[in-house]
Structure 1
Amino acid sequence: MGTALPNTKARTLALAPLALALAVALPPVQALAQTADEAQLIREELNTLREEQSRIARMQQRNEAAMRALETRLGVAPPAVAPESAVATRSPAPAASGALDRLKVTGDLRLRSQHDRSDSDRPDRTSGQVRARLGATYAVNDRVTVGGRLVTGDADDPNSSDVQLSNWADDFELSLDLAYAQLDFGDLKVYGGKFPQPFARTDLVWDGDVNPQGLGATYKRALNGGGALRVNTLFFVVDEQAAGPDSTMGGLQLGYDSPDYGGFKYDVSGAYYRYSLGSLAGADAGDWRSNRLNPDGSFQSDYELANLLVGATWQGTHEKWPLRVVGDYVRNLGAIDDQDTGFGVDVSLGRASKPGDWRFTYGYAQTDVDAVMAAFSQDNIGIATNYKLHAFTVDYTPMPKTMISAIWYHHKPNDPAYAGSNAPDDWLDRIRLFFLMNF
């Protein structure tokens, strides 16, 4: 049976076109019927063709029945053919595509080498760090978006996601540094949970890795001519206690972004942050860091920070070489004495957004010991407050979504009275080289 079916089918396929061709190609009967014998011959030929067509149709039916029987014996399912109406109305693909369009996934991996040296008070050290972050947002609808991010690093350190390459190749820790919901009302966006930093900032007051938790809102209103007004607010739950006073912070920042005046524009941001530190139960040495403490472990100063940022950008004559200057000033209105002020200036030339771009940055910063809340300020050097700091940075973009950077931090204690374990007049150096990949 396995060989007869293909041969029969082949004959069927061969005869069917022949019969059809003959039927079409034969001239009209009247043209050939010159005599009765000729007409009779033609009728006989037509009858023969009709019989052959009928026989071919019967063979096709038998072959199809035999094929179905063979498929049943072999357990092979026949191909499914959807009704024409179902094919015309079915459309699952757009729904699936729309769900994926609402999901946005981002991440980065940074490999870093670091060298630390000092003049006299400690040995030199060379080390390596890795940072990995994977985040996603999903638009539930036009108003609600949820987001989260997994990061490496110590979950008890809000200032850094880096992992020191050490500890006999122990596996890295992972934690959530973002988990939030966002409500979008056009110009106004409201956040809840642990969400991205809402304020315009530099590392002087807010380290780039710090993401507050609680409730926040940002409002940005475009103005005629290209400028914009900004309002950022935050209720920061620092430490909540079931039986005792909580630690919280309330913050408000007002900002203005100017229009573009022929390649020049500026921005101004003024903020006030008030901490109410009723509890330190959830804090450790990495949180109070260099701020002054009382014998019972509480802070000597209150923290009511007035903060002013002013920035200016000049595009210049070439799009690859914009000039950017940012000044940051902070004063702690709650400090117990004059150890209450910090300031910084950063000047950068160039950009680092496209392959082949270079950017050069110089920054200077100086703080008093209680000028800022050390738990959330910069973590680039080993001194959290009371420092004088020079920073030189070179960034290069070798290919899309990558960056190579070199940073040199040159710093020392600002006031010898609060130098702690650092030699008062010892300049410390930290050099970092890193390769960053984004996706």
Structure 2
Amino acid sequence: MARIRIYCMAIFMAVFFFWSQSAFSATNNEELIRRLDSLSAIIQQQQQEINKLKQEIQDQKKFNHEVQKKQSEEIQKAVKAENRELEKQFSDLIPKWTERIKLSGDLRLRYEKLFNRDAFRKHGSRTSTPGRDRYRVRARLFVDGKISDELSAHFMICTNQDKNHEATTTNQSFSDDFNDKGIFLHRAYGTYKPKWLSGLEITAGKFKNTFLHTDIMWDPDVNPEGIYERYQYQGLENFKPFIHLGQMEVNEENYQTDDAALYISQLGFDWKFGPFTWTLAGSYYDWANLDNTEYLHNAEYKRGGGNTFVLRDPADPKGDLDYAYDYNLWEAITFLRFKLGPVPTKLIFDYIRNTDSDVPNKQDTALFAGFKLGKEKKKGDWSLFYKYARIEKDAVIGSMNDQDFYGANRKGHKVMFRYMLLDRLRFGTAFFYTDPIKDWDVNSCTFEKNDQYRGHEERLQTEFVFKF
């Protein structure tokens, strides 16, 4: 800038000089024009110098900017390198086995209202029973550990009822005078997925129920115990058949050779064609030696689940009970998945029949028909679920299926809506409308103990689930 001011002063002095000379010595117009042309040339020359200086200034600014940018990039690289070194030093302090462990869990807070309930009287009439308002909590913690590329171990600890420790619930009710709530081991199992045969899975322990099913067969909270083997053929792109076998230990008896057990065989396929994915499976359930179960055979578990029982000793009306029939169940289950516009849609159908020849007609069949719209993965997602179910009295083990629906000898509807308020916060509400298929036998050995309370019921649940 100083140089520019000097050049401007020089121009001014030149103009003054020539103007003075013209005032005293110019004698005609030609001389005046010559001097003006000379002055114009000087001005143009000085303007070129000024432009050159301006360009030098712009080049200097550009150079300074590039230097600052390069310095900033070098500083950022140095900071990142330092952070990587600090992360490495920190990771070296953490035991390596923690890298193979994954922790997750959830917390569910639920309000549940039971209303419009009725019960049966000894002479066969019905009477209304008081409603019920319950506030309940469920807390679950999952631990998944990778042993190798083929082996893994899994645990789940969770709330449950303190008194009964029921397999069909993970709820704790707000009750018992502020007493602490119990935590129990709900899952503990190991899984082997060999590289030499893709699609094979062998699991042993107390595990998540991986068999295709609906809640007319299993309550969602039941975690079987034993071993299962599953293989799905991976050689075809769109058609993948599978076989799923299970050997479950229901109850081990000391000094007995006939432990209570469950054997499951399931065959099916997943078939993708066009916009559809169709899953179809057939299953056989063989409940063995139910008389040697710990709680089931005495109708002490979930009030017997609505099944038919007989006295083990007819002369002792207060003695042990046994199931009146065997439970050899055939099941056909199917899911059809597609998109209804942009909405994920699933149609569901499940049919079960108890093939024990002693089971009377109209007591041996269960069915489920329903659908689900939407999904629940991220904030803003929603889903709507509906089912109709009809479960005859001895179609399934009533103590092991959905206990919000009330076991066997039951029919009715369920509607459920869920909405993701945040990626890890879900709101849900569900409504049940259920009735017994047939009136309970007032002369049965379980009527006064359990059955008389299983009349019409309506149930409303509202909940929030926090995931981490």
The answer on whether the counterparts of 1:266 and 1:313 sit within 8 Å (CA) in structure 2 is: yes
Identify the residue that residue 47 of structure 1 maps to in structure 2: none
Identify the residue that residue 436 of structure 1 maps to in structure 2: 465
Identify the residue that residue 270 of structure 1 maps to in structure 2: 282
Max Rg structure? 2
Residues 174-213 of structure 1 mapped to structure 2, 5 A cutoff? 174-185=183-194, 186-213=198-225
Structure 1: unaligned runs, 5 residues or longer: 1-86
1:116 aligned to 2:114?
yes
Q: Output the CA distance in 2 between the equivalents of 1:380 and 1:278.
A: 24
Structure 1 residues 301-355: Cα deviation after superposition (integer angstroms, max 9, x where no partner): 101110111111121321xx12211001000112522211000111122222221
The answer on whether the counterparts of 2:250 and 2:293 sit within 8 Å (CA) in structure 1 is: no
The answer on whether the counterparts of 1:415 and 1:424 sit within 8 Å (CA) in structure 2 is: no
TM-score (norm 1): 0.74
Q: Output the CA distance in 2 between the equivalents of 1:227 and 1:128.
A: 46
1:206–1:190 distance in 2 versus 1, CA, 3 Å: same
1:380 aligned to 2:404?
yes
Give the match's secondary structure for 2:97: helix
The answer on whether the counterparts of 1:406 and 1:431 sit within 8 Å (CA) in structure 2 is: yes
1:139 aligned to 2:168?
no
Using the aligned pairs only, state the percent identity.
Answer: 23
Q: Output the CA distance in 2 between the equivalents of 1:209 and 1:330.
A: 20
Q: Output the CA distance in 2 between the equivalents of 1:274 and 1:118.
A: 37
Residues 353-392 of structure 1 mapped to structure 2, 5 A cutoff? 353-381=377-405, 383-392=406-415
1:169 aligned to 2:181?
no
Q: Output the CA distance in 2 between the equivalents of 1:119 and 1:276.
A: 35
TM-score (norm 2): 0.70
1:427–1:242 distance in 2 versus 1, CA, 3 Å: closer
Q: Shift of the alpha carbon at 1:94?
A: 6.6
Identify the residue that residue 54 of structure 1 maps to in structure 2: none
Give the match's secondary structure for 2:177: helix
Structure 1 residues 46-88: Cα deviation after superposition (integer angstroms, max 9, x where no partner): xxxxxxxxxxxxxxxxxxxxxxxxxxxxxxxxxxxxxxxxx9x
Identify the residue that residue 427 of structure 2 maps to in structure 1: 404
The answer on whether the counterparts of 2:377 and 2:420 sit within 8 Å (CA) in structure 1 is: yes
The answer on whether the counterparts of 1:221 and 1:229 sit within 8 Å (CA) in structure 2 is: yes
Identify the residue that residue 310 of structure 2 maps to in structure 1: 294
1:418–1:223 distance in 2 versus 1, CA, 3 Å: farther
Identify the residue that residue 157 of structure 2 maps to in structure 1: 150
Q: Output the CA distance in 1 between the equivalents of 2:245 and 2:188.
A: 18
Structure 2: unaligned runs, 5 residues or longer: 1-84, 119-127, 313-320
Give the match's secondary structure for 1:166: coil
The answer on whether the counterparts of 1:292 and 1:300 sit within 8 Å (CA) in structure 2 is: yes
Aligned partner (choices 263, 268, 281) of residue 255 of structure 1: 268
Q: Output the CA distance in 2 between the equivalents of 1:157 and 1:404.
A: 25
Q: Shift of the alpha carbon at 1:167?
A: 0.6
1:401–1:347 distance in 2 versus 1, CA, 3 Å: same
Matched residues, number? 347
Q: Shift of the alpha carbon at 1:266?
A: 1.2
Aligned partner (choices 311, 334, 341) of residue 310 of structure 1: 334
Q: Shift of the alpha carbon at 1:95?
A: 9.8
